[in-house]
Each structure stands twice: as structure tokens, then as C-alpha cells.
Amino acid sequence: MATKWESFVSFMGLAGQKFVENLLSVKVWIIFVYMVFSFIMVKGDMMGGDTFATSNGSVISIVVALREAFKTQKIKAMANGADCESKEKIDKMAL
């Protein structure tokens, strides 16, 4: 049985790994590049504040929605597979 400290260290290791995976993901870079580009356009008076807020909110919403759609598709694909390993992964995701 793992002690509380070992459990915490294990959790932080997994959380750090997830953080790095998110930094390397495409969705983070899409949002970052678009935010920088639109900020430069606002500073150069090529875009107003209302357009800035609307476009950034729209892009972020679309990226997050696509992420959730792909995650759902992946879970459904794993559920359709007959191997036990996939079923165990799905059970862990549900918790």
C-alpha cells in the first residue's frame, strides 16, 4: 500500500506529464498564435475591442468543442473494440 506521500508524488508526476502533453498539443498552439495575432491587430488599430472579444471567444470555443468531440469519438471507438484493455481504460475514464 502506498503512503500518502508516494501517492502525492505519483499524482504530481502524472499531472506534470499531462501538463507537458497539453503544451505540446496543437490546440494550445492554435489558441496561443491566434491570441497573439489578434492582440497585435488590436494594438495596431486594425481590429476593435468588440471584434477581438468575439473572435477570440469563438476560436477558443471551437477548439474546445472539437477537442471534446474527438475525445468522445475516441471513447466510442475504444468501446466498440472487444479487447479487455480498452474496456479497463474506459472504466478508468468514467471515474
Q: How far apart are CA 30 and CA 38, in angstroms?
A: 12
Q: How far apart are CA 43 and CA 48, in angstroms?
A: 9
Domain encompassing residue 53: 4-94
Full-model pTM: 0.53
pLDDT at residue 30 is higher than 80 = yes
- The cell numbers describing 81, all together, are 473494440
pLDDT-derived band at 72, boundaries 50, 70, 90: confident
User: What value does the mean pLDDT take over residues 14-30?
Assistant: 71
Whole-angstrom CA distances from 79 to 9, 61, 74 are 31, 27, 9
- The cell numbers describing 27, all together, are 490546440
Q: How far apart are CA 5 and CA 7, in angstroms?
A: 5
pLDDT-derived band at 86, boundaries 50, 70, 90: low
Q: pLDDT above 90 covers what percent of the chain?
A: 9
pLDDT-derived band at 36, boundaries 50, 70, 90: very high
- The count of structural domains within the chain is 1
